[in-house]
Structure 1
Amino acid sequence: MSYCVYLLTNPARTVLYTGVTNDLERRLYEHSQGLGNAGKFTGRYQCNLLVYFEICPDARQAIVREKEIKGWSRAKKEALITAFNPDWNPIDLRTWTE
């Protein structure tokens, strides 16, 4: 089973949220509905636009990567997003193609 590390932002692009999950579509739904502990943060800051994700082969690697990204400066996170998604367009997983 693969896991995803992902970054969300709000419409104003002023807040970034980093998370990890084994079901990105489900997790995005949970964020949009304000479910779970993470929903408190993402709900408060309207942080529900997916702008970056990467797939890891297992949970351990995904958690390590999530912690690594969380430790980065805002500028480094922005550079990661921009390299993957130059215009910071919200990613729709239903239509996503690499």
Structure 2
Amino acid sequence: MKNPCVYIMASRRHGTLYVGVTSQLGARVWQHKNGVTQGFTSQYRVHQLVWYEQHETMASAILREKQLKAGSRQRKIDLIEALNPQWLDLYERMLG
């Protein structure tokens, strides 16, 4: 099942952040956690899903991703802390 999502991964609380978009959040986060794809998240050990937002369409998810990437780091931190003040890894919760 495809569910367009925008998500933020972190290396740790207030650590390195990565903003992405996908139609299969569980599979994509698994790839980040297991270093399947070489790149930013594997290089900087960005493995915790700390925020995500579901969208009706991939077009709206991509637009939101662009807004987040263009925004400040503090804006991203504010989004994370509004949903997830403890900066818990939401991956397990999302699956279950």
Q: Compute the TM-score of the two structures, normalised by the length of structure 2.
A: 0.89
SS in 1 for 2:40: helix
- Cα offset for 1:33? 2.4
Check the 8 A contact 1:11/1:46 in 2, yes or no.
no
Aligned ranges for residues 26-41 of structure 1 at < 5 Å? Answer: 26-36=27-37, 39-41=38-40
Aligned ranges for residues 59-70 of structure 1 at < 5 Å? Answer: 59-70=58-69
Letter in structure 2 aligned against 1:74: R
Aligned to 2:11: 10
Name stretches of at least 5 consecutive residues in structure 2 with no aligned partner: none
Aligned to 1:52: 51
Question: How many Å separate the matches in 2 of 1:50 and 1:26?
Answer: 12
Aligned to 1:21: 22
SS in 2 for 1:76: helix
SS in 2 for 1:28: helix
* CA deviation profile, 1:56-75 (whole Å, cap 9, x unmatched): 00110000000000111111
Question: How many Å separate the matches in 2 of 1:12 and 1:45?
Answer: 14
SS in 1 for 2:39: helix
- Cα offset for 1:35? 2.7
Structure 1 outlier segments of 4+, above 2 Å: 33-36
- Cα offset for 1:89? 0.9
Aligned to 2:74: 75
Q: Compute the TM-score of the two structures, normalised by the length of structure 1.
A: 0.87
Check the 8 A contact 1:8/1:16 in 2, yes or no.
yes
SS in 2 for 1:7: strand
Question: How many Å separate the matches in 2 of 1:90 and 1:33?
Answer: 14
- Cα offset for 1:87? 1.1
Instruction: Figure out how many residues of one structure are paired with residues of the other and give that number.
Output: 93
Considering only aligned residues, what root-mean-square deviation do their CA atoms show, in Å?
1.3
